[in-house]
Amino acid sequence: MSSASPILSVQDLCVRFDLPRSGVWPWRGEALQLKAVNNISFDLYPGEILGIVGESGCGKSTLARAILGMLQNVQGKVVWQGEDMLGLSPSQLRKRRQKLQMVFQDPIASLSPRMTVGEIIAEPLKTHYPAMSSAEREAKVVSIMETVGLHANQVNRYPHEFSGGQCQRVGIARALVLEPDLIICDEPVSALDVSIQAQIVNLLKKLQRELGLSLIFIAHDLNLVKYISDRVMVLYLGHVMEVANSRDLYREPLHPYSKALISAVPIPDPELERGKEVLLLEGDLPSPINPPAGCPFVTRCPMATQVCEQTKPELRAVADGQRRVACHHA
């Protein structure tokens, strides 16, 4: 996969949010800045599924929105098929964005309650292909609904008449209707029942295989990420801790944070589950307003030494060069 040219290349991406001045100790009126994403770089290849995992607040969703040009105060490069998206004007970005789509976390909240599902799915076509006739739009909508497992006779129903899983299928259909090359799935199953989660993940995997899509799959459930992803990127406090092939990462995580996350994944075998060692992380996630000076993970790492407190580790290649880890001791 790495022998092909990347379809998406993110280079030194940073996202900062300026916060209101505060007169409360210890900042005493100084301007505050929340560092949500810190110098993240990675490549995504055609037909690849990249999983992104990490605790709440680690920057997963912020990274996704920055890639799609939905945020301000973004620095770095987002190179899509050889073109830097961050350097485009709003009108230029709008034209490119039809090939990059997003599936959101809450399937019901992401759909307008005042529109039928047919109108919701057709809306991107009206925006990007205004010359398309009504008959062509209707045929396209019906076709894409059937592709995601919905029925054509449901086209005039409203979102409240569907289950959560069906609403997420509508969201996927809306993302697919423009025939994108990349879909970013921002925790697309976290609001669904477990049985429905499996259906949606299997649908995404089937669509990726049949349509040749590239996917970025963001989730908290590490079992789902393992199942669907080719590679996995582990984030902590807006930094990349480790990037590896999915199988290699789950078999032998190198970063202490990756080890802690994977040790918490349940094992279906009761005897193995009872006998496994769970690495519990002590303390809370540091504030992204005032992060540690050295390694971001130093305040919770059982392997931390003086060098970890003083020097931030670089994300370096290990093993065969396809795996990277940001740790002094890995």
pLDDT at position 221 is: 87
Positions of the chain with pLDDT lower than 50, given as ranges = none
* Beta-carbon contacts of residue 18 (< 8 Å; ≥ 6 apart): 31, 32, 33, 73
Q: Say if 134 falls within a structural domain.
A: no
- Domain count for the chain, please give it: 1
Q: By C-alpha distance, which of 162, 170, 163, 126 is closest to 145? A: 170
How far apart (Å, rounded) are the C-alpha atoms in residues 12 and 10? Answer: 7
Query: Which residue type, as a one-letter code, is found at position 196?
Result: I
Q: Say if 238 falls within a structural domain.
A: yes
**What is the pLDDT of the chain when averaged over all its residues?**
90
- Residue-wise pLDDT for 87-97, tens only, equals 888 888 888 88
How does 26-58 read in b/e, with b if 16+ C-beta sit within 10 Å?
eeeeeeeebbbbbbbebbbbbbbbbbbbbeebb
Query: Which residue type, as a one-letter code, is found at position 275?
Result: G
pLDDT at position 211 is: 94
Q: Is 297 exposed, middle or buried (0-12, 13-18, 19+ CB in 10 A)?
A: buried
CATH number of the domain enclosing 92? 3.40.50.300
C-alpha angle with apex 215: 238 to 95, nearest 5 degrees? 95
- Residue-wise pLDDT for 106-159, tens only, equals 988 999 999 999 999 999 999 999 999 999 999 999 999 999 999 999 999 999
Q: Say if 152 falls within a structural domain.
A: no
pLDDT at position 280 is: 78
- Residue-wise pLDDT for 240-263, tens only, equals 999 999 999 999 999 999 999 998
Question: pTM of the entire structure?
Answer: 0.91
Q: Say if 162 falls within a structural domain.
A: no
Q: Say if 126 falls within a structural domain.
A: no
pLDDT at position 33 is: 86
Q: Is 314 exposed, middle or buried (0-12, 13-18, 19+ CB in 10 A)?
A: exposed
C-alpha angle with apex 241: 238 to 244, nearest 5 degrees? 125
pLDDT at position 26 is: 54
Range of the domain at 50: 8-99+180-325
* Strand 100-103 versus strand 182-186 pairing type: parallel
Tally Cβ neighbours within 10 Å of residue 12.
11
Q: Say if 272 falls within a structural domain.
A: yes
pLDDT at position 22 is: 58
pLDDT at position 234 is: 97
pLDDT at position 272 is: 66
Q: Say if 194 falls within a structural domain.
A: yes
How far apart (Å, rounded) are the C-alpha atoms in residues 128 and 130? Answer: 6
pLDDT at position 96 is: 86
Q: Say if 281 falls within a structural domain.
A: yes
